[in-house]
Chains A and B, each alone.
Chain A
Amino acid sequence: KNEVEQSPQNLTAQEGEFITINCSYSVGISALHWLQQHPGGGIVSLFMLSSGKKKHGRLIATINIQEKHSSLHITASHPRDSAVYICAVRPITGNQFYFGTGTSLTVIP
């Protein structure tokens, strides 16, 4: 049973396209994180959300707590955005994060 589901699993886009990655979760949460992992690289936290919307450069993250759903948008995508994007949730109770399996994004020049 996966507490966190991401879609799509893989995504290929042309440079400049608008990209959306979706995350659905099944537990009550205190926070949701979007993480970025480059090939062979470490994991970087992009956003932490508990409500509403956050924007950082070309990245926008939204969350709907009632629907248990979050989206990560990338505007004007660029090849350097190619990475795996991981959704993670912090449940209201307990110490453990739950992680999605990631969305592998490839942006072609």
Chain B
Amino acid sequence: NAGVTQTPKFQVLKTGQSMTLQCAQDMNHNSMYWYRQDPGMGLRLIYYSASEGTTDKGEVPNGYNVSRLNKREFSLRLESAAPSQTSVYFCASRYLLAEYFGPGTRLTVT
């Protein structure tokens, strides 16, 4: 099992560009999550999906959209990137009370 995978690992964008961060899990988990991690702050929830076909906003959803394509995949889209979205992004899946994290995507917006 690969667990939770994310692509890309690194990305540099110019302000205003768009991109999609991909996440997939092979553990057949219903719940999936997108977090961002910034220096001096804890992980903050952007969006989550409790099950296939449903998505909900987390703590910091502005500037992002998500798609739960199927049970395996949960993508995060930045329609018009801003420097404030420079961060490390983590995808996670959850089974019962246990959380499994992907390796992260380091995004820089210039």
Q: What total count of A-B pairs have CB within 8 Å?
A: 50
B11-19, B20-28, B77-85, B97-105 - the one binding chain A: B97-105
Interface size on B, residues (CB 8 A): 21
* A-B contact list, 12 entries, CB within 8 Å: A30-B97, A31-B97, A35-B101, A42-B102, A43-B101, A95-B48, A95-B50, A95-B56, A96-B58, A97-B43, A100-B42, A102-B42
Q: How far is the CA of A96 from the CA of B34 in the complex (A)?
A: 11
B2 at the interface (CB under 8 A from A): no
Residues 44-88 of A at the B interface (beta carbon under 8 Å): 44-45, 48, 50, 86, 88
Decide: B97 and A90 in contact? CB cutoff 8 A. yes
A contact residues vs B (CB 8 Å cutoff): 2, 4, 30-31, 33, 35, 41-45, 48, 50, 86, 88, 90, 95-102
CB distance from B45 to the nearest CB of A (A): 5
Contact A88 B41, CB 8 Å, known A43-B90, A95-B48: no
Query: Given A88-B99, A99-B42, 13 more contacts at CB 8 Å?
Result: A35-B101, A41-B104, A42-B101, A42-B103, A42-B104, A43-B90, A45-B101, A50-B97, A86-B42, A90-B97, A96-B45, A97-B99, A99-B44
